[in-house]
Amino acid sequence: MSKIKDKLIFKLLISVVLGMIIGQFSSTKNIILLETIKYILGQIIFFTIPLIILGFIAPAIAKLKNNAGKMLITMLSLSYLSSIGAAFFSMILGYSIIPYLSINSSVKGLRTLPEVFFKLDIPPIMPVMSALILAIFIGLAVVWTNSEIFTNILLDFNKIVLALVNRIVIPILPIFIFCTFASLAYEGSITKQLPVFIKIIGIIIICHFVWLSVLYAIGAIVSKKNPFDIIRNYIPAYLTAVGTMSSAATLPVALKCAKNTKVLKKDIIDFAIPLGSTTHLCGSVLTEVFFLMTVSRILYSKLPSLPTMIIFIILLGIFAVGAPGVPGGTVLASLGIIVSVLKFNDTGIALMLTIFALQDSFGTACNITGDGALALILQGIFENNQRVSN
């Protein structure tokens, strides 16, 4: 029994269940305390994200040597293709299903979450995208200069960051998720919005698993390896993403899950998983497209035209690659093209943000789980290239 309790997946499930139960029966004072704890723990988790990106991507690029530039371009291309592929899949589904759905978007009676006792702000040393670009530049510069000294420094830094992840981030994640679900239960998002949640999210979740199946099937074909070991080990990362609603916050768990697999190589994991958490947002993009079409049907009594959707998806894929891996990051990054291409007004934007927030956790879970498939595809591509060159 002690071994079961030590498993992260067990801790996460307990956190979710207890949070939902306690949140529904908590007083306002208790929720204020939980909200304060959640805020502080969230600050700690998000502070470590730039360090994780620097500590894993830069050393991984340095170890790749001559393949570094090619692998970077390949991974970014895979992220973009996966995102727009998911978006086009969602678009086709939207044109096929949405005209026949009857969706009530008006949900009232939610309680307002109280303000926290105090805010302990711990700003990250740099934004996520700055950390990503810096990690790429440092890694490539070390490769180009063939600097053994900086290679060893980066490898030691990788060990330091890994220790921070294992001893600080992983242990506090179940508490953070418990507080998150307690707040949702107190607010009423899980109960009062359940009918809307089931109608739309049910379709979206099925689509997420369909797209993940496509990605892992491609990974199996390209790498000629069985992806089931990756899928099985990624369950804790999926649950963490559901609880945190953030690819960035789930990154430490995703790395731990990937390293537990017997299929993926360490160098590929250290490079592809952190990069994917920032650039690969297939689940969020898939969801955004379906919801945008739904909102358009609700407010404007029609779906966007096919040419408009194609232009929007091509642009959305670019924005998704650069979107921050934080709650709602994809839709926030794409607000400009939602207004300019789809011509949504303020009401449409507000409704879009509200509905998207309801499923953000599941889109994030799809994103982070899909990173394992991209890592498998990437590994297969470069292993095949090496065989050809040899």
**317-343 pLDDT, tens digit each:** 877 765 555 555 577 667 667 877 888
Compute the average pLDDT of residues 112-119.
74
pLDDT of 206:
93
Res. 50: pLDDT tops 70: yes
How many domains does the chain fold into? 1
pLDDT, greater one: 178 or 386: 178
Res. 283: pLDDT tops 80: yes
Compute the average pLDDT of residues 50-65.
78
Domain CATH code at residue 58 = 1.10.3860
Domain residues for 375?
Answer: 4-389
Mean pLDDT lowest among 54-68, 120-134, 198-212, 323-337: 323-337
Res. 25: pLDDT tops 70: yes
Position 103 confidence tier, pLDDT thresholds 50, 70, 90: low
pLDDT, greater one: 370 or 179: 370
Alpha carbon distances (Å) from 298 to 4, 103, 192, 256: 47, 8, 20, 42
Alpha carbon distances (Å) from 356 to 100, 197, 241: 20, 10, 15
pLDDT of 90:
94
* DSSP notation for 320-338: HHHS-SSTTHHHHHTHHHH
CA distance 390 to 384: 10
Compute the average pLDDT of residues 208-224.
94
Position 208 confidence tier, pLDDT thresholds 50, 70, 90: very high
